[in-house]
A = this chain, B = another copy of it.
Amino acid sequence: MTTHTVLFRPYDKLVKVKDGESLIRSAMESGVHINASCGGEGVCGKCRIIIESGEVEGGISEKLEKEDIKKGIRLACLAKVKEDIVVRITTESTVDASVLNLLAVSRNTARIQKINFEAMKEKGLFIPPVEKRYIEMPSPTAHDNLSDITRLVSYLKLNYNESKLEVDLSVIRKIPDVLRENDFKITVTLIRPVHEGNKTKIVNVQPGNTVGSNYAIAIDVGTTTVYGQIIDLITGEVLAQHGDFNGQISYGEDVISRIVFAEKGGLDKLSEVVLTTINKIIKKIIKRASISSEDISTVTIAGNTTMTQLMLRINPRYIRLAPYVPASTLYPPFKTSEIGLDIEEHVRALIYPEVSSYVGGDIVAGVMGSGMYLSDEFTLFMDIGTNAEIVIGNKDWLACSACSAGPAFEGGGLKFGMRAAKGAVEDFSVDPFTLEPMIMTIGNVRPKGICGSGLIAIVATMFEMGIIDSSGKYDRNLDTLRIIKKDGVYEYVIAWANETQIEKDLSLSEIDIENLIRAKGAMYSGCITLLEEVGLSVTDLDLIIISGGFGSYVDLEKAMTIGLLPEVDPKKVQFIGNGSLMGARMSSLTNRLRKDVVEVTKMMTNFELSETASYMDNYIAAIFLPHTDISQFPKLKQRMASRKKLVMGRRSI
């Protein structure tokens, strides 16, 4: 079988692929991420790359200008590898926030990028949390028969000026044989204290020199999905990653139903199943990265407060009962065995601290990983999902809040809602006159349902077209077979039964739209209320960071059209993907974050929206498209005005 070599820049990732393989698949398999939302059929045009050396077969479509093609730009999904090539992944324009960019790996969590340790060092951001040292010690004699541990500790004190060393039982158990396996030449793993003055822990000894192999694991425990990554602590590279559904899903879709299940005696079960999910992921990424589990030195885990308590087998009952008190917001480092992780027993697990019952470790990780806590800029951080959280602030202050948006953004609670998986309608347009739809599904297959981003696209498009009014109702006067009344509810048929995989009409009802409006209303009014509480307005914001899997797929303009996001210059918006995972990863790379995080959680003032008088008013005002006060969306207002003619025109047909 002929194979070719592809070098992906700027990550300097070299992979072998078989002849004729599509470039996007090569990238995906080797862990290099390229944005591409149409499933590789060349229709979205997002997967632009530059061929710097060599040539590919195909890769050209109408999505590319002639100028682009001349520059070597191709669509990765249409390009086939027929020889050795060098490919550059184009980097998106990002806001000017140098500190942020040092910490935040990229706009997309899956993006693998080298960490600039030197730059981090210069800014005091790089303080390695774990170090390996190779040492060659003298063998014992009758006149120098110190214990093995004393020999090691004395050697480190004398030669490396180490002091305050502490030793794990696992090291005491290993050291006699490890020392004698390779003539007292060993590699020792040192975990540095987060706070100066505390002890350095000797957590591992290995025969010979393994200094070059030092890895961390980062885990994001989401209510729905769990993600894991292996990070090379020397290069900062992500070597492998994997995500899977949280095994707890069978016991309840959201945190409240899980808490209720735990209260009914299911706590041990919920802990067990999420640990099973995590351990499976760990096993998979270790295998994918082709590393020895011996060389893993640290693991960082971030999750919301409920996920964290369930994983650690801590009764979550009081999270859901007023006044919503979590068991703890800070956790000491744990031995992996103590909390049930299948990782070598020398590894310490760091659990991301929390702010409150509904602003958890996942959000704190996002704040840390995105670097917003180090920035001068007024930043709005949003994690959009069932449990939506908002953080506003900068390096001087931080305010946060949680608002329960409901499951609409994840395709939940809709008549034909589904997760963002194959067959989900994810983009939509409509002929302004015939009102016939054009849909895009994930995987370019026949539609099965509507996912969160699809829902927003549909509602935004139809609202701009005047098919839906600002209260979310279909125009009853339109001449189309697509809008029908079924069981007393108006709905728009997106695909007829014979066009779908489900063999019935796939439609979006006014109830579905109402659900979305409530969800986006909760998010938006949360943002506005929190801004008001801290005396700011939308125009004061320098940056909006969108975190969460949902954020990676949503169309920014459409999100503003429906009033999910305040209307700002799109350049001010940054998508960071899985912020929780990013924070977990960054914390495994530097003690600076581990140290700062305690202060950051203290700094994050929690506002209980239900306790904030203006929230309900803001919410009532926000449950319209885009809002009762259209002046908050000036560009949309402008567009709406110019579309008005169209609608009038359609009416007159």
Given contacts A167-B332, A172-B331, A327-B172, whether A145 and B315 have CB atoms under 8 Å apart is no
In the bound assembly, the distance between CA atoms of A328 and B313 in angstroms comes to 34
Q: Are the C-beta atoms of A325 and B608 separated by less than 8 Å?
A: no
Q: How many residues of A contact B (CB 8 A)?
A: 48
Given contacts A142-B608, A312-B169, whether A147 and B332 have CB atoms under 8 Å apart is no
Q: Are the C-beta atoms of A166 and B332 separated by less than 8 Å?
A: yes
In the bound assembly, the distance between CA atoms of A596 and B168 in angstroms comes to 22
In the bound assembly, the distance between CA atoms of A173 and B262 in angstroms comes to 13
Q: Closest residue to A150 on the B side, CB-wise?
A: B329
Q: Closest residue to A151 on the B side, CB-wise?
A: B325
Copies of this chain, whole number: 2
Q: Closest residue to A331 on the B side, CB-wise?
A: B172
List B contacts of A328 (CB < 8 A): 147-150, 167, 172, 175
List B contacts of A140 (CB < 8 A): 323, 325
In the bound assembly, the distance between CA atoms of A326 and B150 in angstroms comes to 10
Q: Closest residue to A168 on the B side, CB-wise?
A: B332
Given contacts A169-B339, A330-B149, whether A176 and B317 have CB atoms under 8 Å apart is yes
Q: Are the C-beta atoms of B611 and A330 separated by less than 8 Å?
A: no
Residue A177, interface by CB 8 Å: yes
Q: Are the C-beta atoms of B338 and A169 separated by less than 8 Å?
A: yes
Chain B: minimal CB distance from A618 (Å): 19
Contact digits for A324-350, partner B, Cβ 8 Å, 1 yes 0 no = 111111111011001100000000000
Q: Are the C-beta atoms of B145 and A323 separated by less than 8 Å?
A: yes
Given contacts A173-B313, A197-B197, whether A147 and B326 have CB atoms under 8 Å apart is yes
Q: Closest residue to A332 on the B side, CB-wise?
A: B166
Residue A11, interface by CB 8 Å: no
Residue A318, interface by CB 8 Å: yes
Q: Are the C-beta atoms of B142 and A327 separated by less than 8 Å?
A: no
* Segment 102-160 of A: residues with Cβ below 8 Å from B: 140-150
Q: Closest residue to A180 on the B side, CB-wise?
A: B318
Q: Closest residue to A334 on the B side, CB-wise?
A: B169
List B contacts of A611 (CB < 8 A): 142-143
In the bound assembly, the distance between CA atoms of A148 and B608 in angstroms comes to 18
In the bound assembly, the distance between CA atoms of A150 and B356 in angstroms comes to 11
Chain B: minimal CB distance from A355 (Å): 9
Residue A314, interface by CB 8 Å: yes
Q: Are the C-beta atoms of A173 and B312 separated by less than 8 Å?
A: yes
Given contacts A327-B147, A330-B149, whether A176 and B141 have CB atoms under 8 Å apart is no
Given contacts A322-B142, A608-B142, whether A176 and B356 have CB atoms under 8 Å apart is no
List B contacts of A608 (CB < 8 A): 142, 145
Q: Are the C-beta atoms of A314 and B142 separated by less than 8 Å?
A: no
Chain B: minimal CB distance from A539 (Å): 31
Can you list 29 A-B pairs with a CB-CB distance of less than 8 A? A140-B323, A141-B323, A142-B322, A142-B323, A143-B611, A144-B323, A145-B323, A145-B356, A146-B325, A147-B325, A147-B327, A147-B329, A147-B354, A148-B325, A148-B326, A149-B327, A149-B330, A150-B328, A150-B329, A166-B332, A167-B332, A168-B332, A169-B334, A172-B312, A172-B327, A172-B331, A175-B327, A175-B328, A176-B317
Q: Other than the known A140-B323, A173-B327, what 15 A-B pairs have Cβ atoms closer than 8 Å?
A: A142-B323, A145-B356, A147-B326, A147-B328, A147-B329, A148-B325, A150-B328, A150-B329, A166-B332, A167-B332, A169-B332, A169-B334, A172-B331, A173-B314, A180-B318
Which 3 pairs, one residue from A and one from B, show the smallest C-beta to C-beta distance?
A149-B328, A145-B323, A147-B329
